Each structure stands twice: as structure tokens, then as C-alpha cells.
Amino acid sequence: MHNPDTIIACHNLEKHYERGGEIVHVLESIDLSLARGGFVALMGPSGSGKTTLLNLFAGIDRPTAGSLMVDGQDLTHLSRSQLAQWRAVSIGYVFQLYHLVPVLTAYENVELPLFLHDMSRSERHLRVSEALDAVGITDRHAHYPRQLSGGQEQRVAIARAIVTRPAILLADEPTGDLDRTAAASIMELLGRLHSEKGQTIVMVTHDPATATHAQRLVQLDKGRLVESSMVRS
Amino acid sequence: MASLACRGLRRRPIRSVLVLAGVAVAVFLYCTADAMRSGVERATRSASSETALIVYRQNRFCPFTSQLPQSYERAIARIPGVASVVPVKIVVSNCRASLDVVTFRGVPAKDFATSHAAETSPETMSRWLQRSDSALIGRELAERRKLKPGDRFTAAGVDAYVAGILESETPQDQSSAFVHLSFLQEQAKRGGTGGVVTQFDVRVTDPLKLDEVARAIDKHFANDESPTTTRAETAHVARAATDVIVLVQFAEVLGIAALVAVFALVANAIVLSMRNREMEISVLQTLGFRGMHIGMLVLFEAFLLGSIGGGIGAAFSYGAIALARTAMTMEGVSIAIPPSIAIALTGVAIANVLSLLAGVIPAILASRQTIVMGFRS
């Protein structure tokens, strides 16, 4: 039975793949339930399966076994095309290396996911303006990614992720490529999105300082869930 | 997506410009070769309604050596099935294959004025009739040599006054300068003055009797001092322009090869472009773009390369042909190369289709790319 307060629920989730004739167990027997409106940090050493778990939550990778419900949707039974449609509506994804489209301006990068929604030009403009304003980068809307600093690029990437008003914002090491000041600024922004707009955020990080912004810590090691604790309410 | 595809061409501007230039050159070659083919086809296409015969000196292949007594006119006119006979003296500035030959056709003035009255104004025809040294210039030749009424021009040792422009639908007429027969015979001074012509233009009463009349003419003069070879006008052009036709056929092969190059160029450009963008495709997929969208994006980029490059090449080809107004002339027979919007549009359409085909495999591969593999790349 789906609990509306639970945004992600997985049971016995496993992810294996074959490399050089050998089966690599990336995730094993993950049982996890995350609440809607929470801010969760997935932590663990390199190779612990954090990013793979995040990718499974985003529907950009498929589990080998187990069940996975995200925002009320059983992802294990969706086709590639259905997963893409679901992502367009439910997921906002922030990459460590921003991954903005280099030939589009900041405005156009943020507008890009809205083309998948049935929206008029003026509606799109309103949404993009709101998103750029929310991340504090309105004055750079006409700049191309190469004309922005790393912190500014990440802000644009966050605006692109939230412009569709997704149920969940997934962030993979969002401060991993930034200096300390820019990283603090991005974390402050994510914190604000969570506290002011009630945005559910699941963030991968290996930095304990970054993880302190989250409400809840989920520790992974060697593909297994080793600890899940509340940092603050 | 269209905007993204357009911007995609700006990622590697030098590569894009080179590909566009390659496509443009290929389509230019194709369109130009096809225009030449079209000119040859137009000049040599035989129709079941054809009534025109050309009587030429047997075994002679150049206006300089085809010399027939003008007195043959009366004998030809008496042959059953002949509707009219026009003795024509032809003088060319160059007997070999060339792209800029002036062909003078000396014709009996009154007969010509009657038969071509609809192809120029009465004032112009009157001016031509009044001056023995005047010439009526075919539209193609006038544009190629930039001649206008009132000009004088000299070619092949003939100095003539331009009485006006002749608007004829006949390809041969468009590239010729029509002068009075006696004037040309006097000016040419080859084979004696007067009484000698190059050929007879014969009209028959019934198209079905074309071959029969041709055989009758040749039989009549078979034992004469100047035996003849009579052919349908289009067959005469096709024989005279045999070498040109072979060259045009070769140009056509080059044109088709150029189109194959379009396919290879665009396919190569798209494959290289996609190889550099596996991560970006994964990002688009993460945002929710489906395989169909990615495939369309790739196809649209390929289409843009074909349509822009093809458009430039076709436009240049059309412009060059329209400006040059070139005619391939050989043995006094002219084959105009007509500028054609239809050929230009066909060139662009073929470039578009080939570009789309070139983009199909990269589009399928890109649309099937898995997100995680793209990020690992």
C-alpha cells in the first residue's frame, strides 16, 4: 500500500552488472523509505553505490532486483519511454559537473525541460523567470555556460532542475566541483529551496560538512545500507 | 528542439562550415550537370509531331565544309511531302566545341520575316528587313554577349548591326544571330560569294512522312556533285553534338558522385558530432527527452546540413547559369544550358533526402543510447 507521505520506498533493491565476465554487486538488499518534503544526504566512500542508488531513484538506471516506488510510481515496470515521461514530470536532477548545454544561454538551458510540457511561450517565460530568480541568477540569463563561473553554472543547473516543479530534486555531488565559498552558497540555496518551498531533496555527497545541511543521513558502504539517521528535524 | 539543432551546428563552426561548403559544392555540381543534361534533352528530344528536316552536305560535319548549291532549293521544294524550304548559310566563330560561339544564320529575309513574325515586334522586323547588314539576335546570345538593339558587333569576320532581339522557343534560334542570306554569303566569302549555302531547313506536310521525305531528298541528290544527308532536326543536333552529349553524360555521373559525397559528408559530420555529445544526450534523456526526441534532433541536424548546404549550392548553380547564359556549341549547333528553378529545387530536395538518410543510423544509435553509458563516456 502506497503511503502518500513516503516519496521513495525500496525493498530488497539490488543492482549488479557484469564487468570482464565477473558480476559486480553495486547495491545489495537496500531497504529504504524516504519521506516527502525531506532533505536526505546519501553518504559513503567512493564505490559505495551512492550515485547508482540516486540513478535508480531518478529512473535513469534500472535495478537488477527488488522493488522501487518513487512518487507513487513503481519504476521497475516502466518502459524506457514511460520512464522518460515520468522523469520529465517528477524528477529534477543536478549533476556534479552541471552539464549545461554549451550552445544554449542560461535562460534557454532552464527553458529546455519545459518543451516537454504542454505550455505556451508566456507560461514558459514565467516559469523560467521564477526559476532563475529562485537561484539568484536572473542577471545572467543571457550568458552562455562558458561565460559563467562554476557556482553560477550550478545555479543555472539547479534552476533547470526545479523549473518543472518536480516532486523530487536529486543532486549528485552538487558542490563537488566548486570552491568552498561557491559550495556554501549552493548548499544555502538547496537549503532554502527545501525550507521555503518544501522541496524534497536527495543529495549524494562524501563531504560531511555538506551533509550537515540535510535532515537525514543515509550511509552506504560496499553497496549496503549501513546507517540511516536523522541529523535534525 | 529545432533551435537546439540549429545551435548544434555552431558547436564546431569550422567543421560545420566545411561540411556545408562540401554539400554546397556537390549540389552545385549536380545542378549544373543536370542543367546541361536538361539543355541536351531539350535540344535533342524528338517528338512525334516533328516536321523539321535539315539537309546537310553528305559526310561533312562543320558549317565551313558543308557547302550546297542554293539552287537545290527549287528541287527540294518539288519533292512530295515538302511544305517549305529555307536555304541557310551558317557562319560560326568557332567550329569546335565551345561555350561561347556566335552562330550567324543567313536566311532569305522575306521568308524569315513571315515565319518568325510572332517572335519579335513588327517595328523590329521592319528594321531588320530594311537594313541588309542587320541581325536579329536570339535571346540567349544577346544576354551572353550583352547585345541590345542599335549595337554593332563583329564575330567570325562578320560585322552586323543589331536590329532587335528574337524571342524564340526553339533552342537553336535562341543562340543564333539571323542575318540576310545574301549579306552573309557576301561577308563570309567562303566557297564563293552567293549561290552557296550550308544547309536547307525543310518543313514537311506530315510528321509521319518525315523519314520518307528525308530519304527522297537524299536519293534525289545522290548522284549530284553535292550529295546530301537529311535528318530530322533533333537527330541532326544529336549527331552534331555527339561529343558534347558524351561529356554531359560524364558530367551527370560526376553529379551523381557528388551526391554520394553529400551522403558521406553529412553522415561523417553527424557521427562525429554525436560521438562528442554522448554525455549531452544522456543529460537530455535525464531531463525527460525520449529516444524519439533525440532521434529527431539528430535527423534535424542532418537535414539542416543538407538543406542549407544544398540551398547554397543550388542557388549558386542557378545564379551562375542564369548570369553566364552559356550555350554548348559544336559544328554550328547550339545547346543552351537553361537556368531552371525546378532543377535547383530538385537538387535541394535530393540533398535533404540524402542528408536525412545519412542521419538515420546515427539517430537510431543516439535514441537507443542508455543514459548511464552516456555519462560513463
The answer to whether the CB atoms of A95 and B372 lie below 8 A apart is: no
Say if B13 is an interface residue toward chain A (CB within 8 Å).
Answer: no
Three cell numbers at B210?
518525315
Q: Round to whole Å and give the CA distance between B73 and A207.
A: 107
Closest CA to B21 of B321, B352, B353, B305: B305
How close, in Å, is residue B296 to chain A by CA atoms? 14
pLDDT value at residue B96: 65
In a domain, residue A51? The reply is yes
pLDDT in tens, B120-169: 888 889 889 988 889 999 888 888 888 889 988 888 778 889 999 988 87
The answer to whether the CB atoms of A81 and B372 lie below 8 A apart is: no
Per-residue DSSP letters for B223-238? TSSS-EEEEEHHHHHH
pLDDT value at residue A153: 94
What is the domain range of residue A28? 6-230
From the list B3, B11, B289, the residue facing A116 with the nearest CB is B289
Q: For residue A164, give the chain B residue with the closest CA.
A: B287
In a domain, residue B235? The reply is no
pLDDT value at residue A155: 93
Indicate whether B194 and B104 sit together in one domain: yes
The answer to whether the CB atoms of B372 and A85 lie below 8 A apart is: no
pLDDT value at residue B60: 83
Chosen domain end from B201, B226, B251: B226
Indicate whether B105 and B204 sit together in one domain: yes
Provide the residue type at A84 as one letter. Answer: A
pLDDT of residue B191 exceeding 60? no
Three cell numbers at A197?
518551498
Q: Round to whole Å and give the CA distance between B178 and B90.
A: 9
User: What is chain B's alpha carbon radius of gyration, rounded to the nearest angstrom?
Assistant: 28
The answer to whether the CB atoms of B288 and A87 lie below 8 A apart is: yes
What is the domain range of residue B207? 59-226
In chain B, how many domains are there?
A: 2
Indicate whether B350 and B276 sit together in one domain: yes
pLDDT of residue B192 exceeding 50? no
From the list B7, B285, B293, the residue facing A104 with the nearest CB is B7
In a domain, residue A110? The reply is yes
Compute how many other C-beta atoms are within 10 angstroms of the C-beta atom of residue A109. Answer: 27
Indicate whether B64 and B100 sit together in one domain: yes
CATH number at residue A197: 3.40.50.300
In a domain, residue A1? The reply is no
Q: Lowest mean pLDDT: which of A159-173, B25-39, B94-108, B351-365?
A: B94-108
Task: Mark the ranges of chain A whose per-residue pLDDT is less than 50.
Answer: none
pLDDT value at residue A119: 92
Mean pLDDT of the B35-43 span: 85
The answer to whether the CB atoms of A84 and B372 lie below 8 A apart is: no
In a domain, residue B148? The reply is yes
For a pLDDT cut of 70, what percent of chain B falls above it? 94
In a domain, residue A175? The reply is yes
Say if B280 is an interface residue toward chain A (CB within 8 Å).
Answer: yes
In a domain, residue B51? The reply is no
Q: For residue B278, give the chain A residue with the closest CA.
A: A99
- CA-based angle B45:B46:B51, to the nearest 5? 135
Q: Which helix (H) or strand (E) holds A10?
A: strand A6-19
Helices (H), chain B: 2-8, 13-44, 72-78, 109-115, 122-130, 139-145, 171-174, 181-188, 210-220, 233-240, 242-275, 278-287, 291-324, 341-368, 371-376
Cα dist from B171 to B41, B49, B142, B338, whole Å:
11, 17, 14, 10
Residues of chain A found within 8 Å of residue B291, distances taken between Cβ atoms:
80-81, 84
Q: What's the mean per-residue pLDDT of chain B?
A: 86
pLDDT in tens, B162-176: 999 988 877 677 888
- Check if the beta carbon of residue A7 is closer than 8 Å to that of residue A176: no
How close, in Å, is residue A84 to chain B by CA atoms? 4
Q: For residue A61, give the chain B residue with the closest CA.
A: B372
pLDDT in tens, B193-214: 557 888 898 989 988 888 899 9
The answer to whether the CB atoms of B4 and A101 lie below 8 A apart is: yes
Indicate whether B308 and B187 sit together in one domain: no
Cα dist from A229 to A32, A217, B63, whole Å:
12, 5, 104
Indicate whether B15 and B72 sit together in one domain: no
pLDDT of residue B251 exceeding 60? yes
In a domain, residue B49? The reply is no
The answer to whether the CB atoms of A80 and B290 lie below 8 A apart is: yes
pLDDT value at residue B157: 77
**DSSP for residue B369:** -
pLDDT in tens, B270-306: 888 888 888 999 999 999 999 999 999 999 999 999 9
Number of A:B CB contacts under 8 A? 63
Indicate whether B166 and B220 sit together in one domain: yes
Beta strands per DSSP E along A84-199? 91-94, 168-172
pLDDT in tens, B328-354: 777 767 777 888 999 999 999 999 999
Closest CA to B227 of B68, B85, B74: B68
Mean pLDDT of the B75-82 span: 92
pLDDT in tens, B40-55: 887 777 666 788 899 9
Cα atoms found within 13 Å of the Cα of residue B102, Cβ hemisphere only = 23
Helices (H), A117-170: 121-134, 150-162
